[in-house]
Amino acid sequence: MEEYMKNVTVIDHPLVQHKLTLMRDKNTGTKDFRMLLNELSTLMAYEVTRDLPMEEIDIETPVAPMKARVLAGRKLGIVPILRAGLGMAEGVMELIPAAKVGHIGLYRDPVTHKPVSYYHKLPSDTCERDMIVVDPMLATGGSAAEGIRMVKEAGCKTVRLMCLVAAPEGIKALYEQHPDVHIYTAAIDSHLNEHCYIVPGLGDAGDRIFGTK
């Protein structure tokens, strides 16, 4: 296995894979695409948070006192990379309602394919939180790497990336720039085409979520 693959978890749960296949289908329209992405994000968040630290506290049930487990440690935050990441944020918030939410606006320049930044607003206590950056597509990896750089610049020490479809090129690029960041994805596809789109992928995620094409 390539060194850069050690930071990747592929979530191959049957429900995740079934919904991803529906999303990939070019005949799936905006309404269903958006709904499926929302559902998938909740299912994936369950796996992304699997290793959160826990502690025991004393409680009393109606029958007896007991020691019971609750989440311990640092608070969480969610950072969608606009636009397409917005389609994942709600689904993650359903599982982590207390999370604060930051926004990072990036688009890929159509010629250079490099990310162009147009907005960012992160929680003021980002340095005290573990952040989950969400963006459905990891293609060249440029957008995710830049978004994660901004989150780290705001003081965050622990970042996870949750995407839906990743290209090997993007996984490698992200590992080279952020070897500490674990990637959770539903699929690793074949390669990028000449326009840096993921093959077979699912097309332009932002356009499919918002119906802009």
81 binding ligand URA? (CB under 6 A): no
Q: Is 168 helix (H, G, I), strand (E, B) or coil?
A: helix
- When CB distances are held under 5 to 8 angstroms depending on the partner's kind, the choice from ligand PRP, ligand URA, none that residue 197 binds is ligand URA
- When CB distances are held under 5 to 8 angstroms depending on the partner's kind, the choice from ligand URA, ligand PRP, none that residue 198 binds is ligand URA
Q: Are 171 and 5 in contact (CB under 8 A)?
A: yes
Q: Is 146 helix (H, G, I), strand (E, B) or coil?
A: helix
Taking Cα atoms as reference points, which of 86, 90, 77, 200 lies closest to residue 135? 86
Residue type at position 206: G
Q: Cite the active site residues.
A: 108, 112, 204, 207
169 binding ligand URA? (CB under 6 A): no
Q: Which two tokens stand for residue 163?
A: 């995407």
- When CB distances are held under 5 to 8 angstroms depending on the partner's kind, the choice from ligand URA, ligand PRP, none that residue 4 binds is none
The dihedrals phi and psi of 203, each to the nearest 5 degrees, come to: 90, -155
Tokens 């990637």 correspond to what residue?
183
Report the alpha-carbon angle 169-130-1, nearest 5: 30
Q: Which two tokens stand for residue 121?
A: 């607003």
Looking at beta carbons, which residue is closest to ligand PRP?
Answer: 206
Query: Which of 80, 91, 115, 168 lies at the binding interface for ligand PRP (CB under 6 A)?
Result: 115
Query: Which of 40, 148, 205, 209 lies at the binding interface for ligand URA (CB under 6 A)?
Result: 205
Taking Cα atoms as reference points, which of 130, 143, 140 lies closest to residue 182? 130
Q: Are 141 and 169 in contact (CB under 8 A)?
A: yes
Query: Which of 8, 159, 165, 205 lies at the binding interface for ligand PRP (CB under 6 A)?
Result: 205
107 binding ligand PRP? (CB under 6 A): yes
Contact set for ligand PRP, span 32-71 (CB under 6 A)? none
144 binding ligand URA? (CB under 6 A): no
204 binding ligand URA? (CB under 6 A): yes
Contact set with ligand URA (CB under 6 A): 84, 137, 139, 197-198, 201, 204-206
Query: Site residues (CB under 6 A) for ligand PRP?
Result: 81-84, 106-108, 113, 115, 135-144, 170, 196, 204-206
